[in-house]
Structure 1
């Protein structure tokens, strides 16, 4: 009897913080990179730990044009020629990035929020978020009966976003800062206002509320990502979120590592 083919979807963070972000999402047949805000060298090294190489990948998805999400994009694009998916306004903003270098614009494919598309055997939908960028989005992925969602870099959320990422088997959400640490920290006033504003970043407490609103009994893992180096730390983010979810005590939480590959979740 022929061996039954095992199908799955997996996700892990190669790096996640306010200094640089790159996330791997894939199946046996389709490998995707979400953002490349660290150097190409670090991305290649992280993928090597996962027994993957960049040429195996089917594309790069960009959430928005800030440096901590596109730092390595120019080098990766020139070196490997992978297709890059982002909204039209984000693509225009990327090409204004002074450190991008010369990149073939034909590699870039424009996508729209709320218009699902396929890359290989993965269905993808971008959803709008509130952030101070040209046209920022988050992403949800479906394959082999499973769903994963990545939602970082958003100052707040509403029922629209809850509906979009609700019921994910894997959730990757932003726990950027502790409000008290930010308020008494050394950041200038204008930057504190930006981070705390609707187009800034999610606090640990607001992150917990988002998880409360979107995680279900079927959620297998929640990653807390995009932590601020100055205004948060792993244990504080974890404990703040954990204590805020008393009715989800069994929900597996993991803080995505700042400078290393996190554990791989397979669903």
Structure 2
């Protein structure tokens, strides 16, 4: 694979303040979610030498505002195709957070069915989260198989199987259970977060990875960390502890890393 075809990953935003992830190469790329301002996304893309005219599409996981804030601007203002399931598109249409509604930019996905844009093959799978129709994405690019699962209250068998198939995993580690329990959130919100349609805590993420770890897994990125109920060092420590307790061993070339809530460093993957 040529140098300008090497897969690159940029987390532009990760957390309840807004989510947006870029996967691409030296020529073209895709966005997963667009829950932050379009100008912020564009600034981040330009900083790595690309722009909206090199984006093949925006793939939306679900209709919560921290994932869809700027889909209208990207779709109708910059003419980027916006891919989502029928349920998520209906949710986007109803959302108070999307001021510019989608029209000609709307593209439809079906869970379990693949869509190919450029060198990327995207397959959505349902996950358990309290949105209209939440999905995770399995992405195939060259030899790389990527799982992006940003919001889920519990893992189904599809998520477990996708971890076992993937070389790169972007997986939620939203909260530390003790911090959430002791923190200031009202009871109803704590109940929602810990429920089966809420979010994964650090321990759940660690156990999920430990149960499905395999030798081809080279990169794990912990995403959607809570600002109030988690910390990057704590998420990493907890996940690594779960792996050790399960007897999982991995070499120095394996990277496990929590993603920043704001702009993250560009990561290039080996051919």
Alignment match, 2:173: 175
Question: Would the alpha carbon gap of residues 135 and 104 (structure 1) be closer, same or farther in structure 2, given more than 3 Å must change?
Answer: closer
What corresponds to 1:81 in structure 2?
79
CA contact (8 A) 1:83 1:107 kept: yes
What is the TM-score normalised by the length of structure 1? Answer: 0.93
Displacement of 1:248 in angstroms is 3.1
Distance in 2 (alpha carbons) for counterparts of 1:214 and 1:79 = 41
In structure 2, the partner of 1:252 is 255
Deviations 1:153-190 (A, max 9, x none): 00011222211332312110000000010011111101
Q: Which residue of 1 aligns with 2:197?
A: 199
Q: Distance in 1 between matches of 2:219 and 2:195?
A: 28
Which range moved further: 174-183 or 142-151? 142-151
Report how far residue 28 of structure 1 moved: 4.2
Count of residue pairs brought into register by the alignment: 264
Q: Structure 2: where are the runs of 5+ without partners?
A: none
Across the aligned residues of Structure 1 and Structure 2, the Cα RMSD in angstroms comes to 1.6
Name the counterpart of 1:33.
31
Indicate yes or no: 2:15 matched with 1:12: no
Question: What CA distance in whole angstroms lies between the structure 1 residues aligned with 2:250 and 2:177?
Answer: 23
* Farther off after superposition, 236-245 or 71-80: 71-80
CA-to-partner distance for each residue in 1:34-68, whole Å, 9 max, x for gaps? Answer: 00111111111111222111111000000000011
Greater mean alpha carbon deviation, residues 33-42 or residues 209-218: 209-218
1:31 and 1:56 in contact (8 A); partners too: yes
Within a 5 Å distance, the mapping from 1:178-189 to structure 2 comes to: 178-189=176-187
CA distance in 1, matches of 2:126, 2:268: 25
Maintained 8 Å contact 1:166/1:213: no
Kept in 1: contact 2:168–2:218 (CA 8 A): yes
Q: Aligned partners of 2:13, 2:89: CA distance in 1, in Å?
A: 23
Matches within 5 A, 1:139-154: 139-154=137-152
Q: Is the 8 A contact 2:76 2:105 kept in 1?
A: no
Look up the match of 1:91.
Answer: 89
Pairing 1:156–2:159 present = no
Aligned counterpart, 2:133: 135
Alpha-carbon deviation of 1:29?
4.4
Moved more, 81-90 or 255-264: 255-264
Task: Structure 1: state its 5+ residue gaps.
Answer: none
With normalisation by structure 2, the TM-score equals 0.92
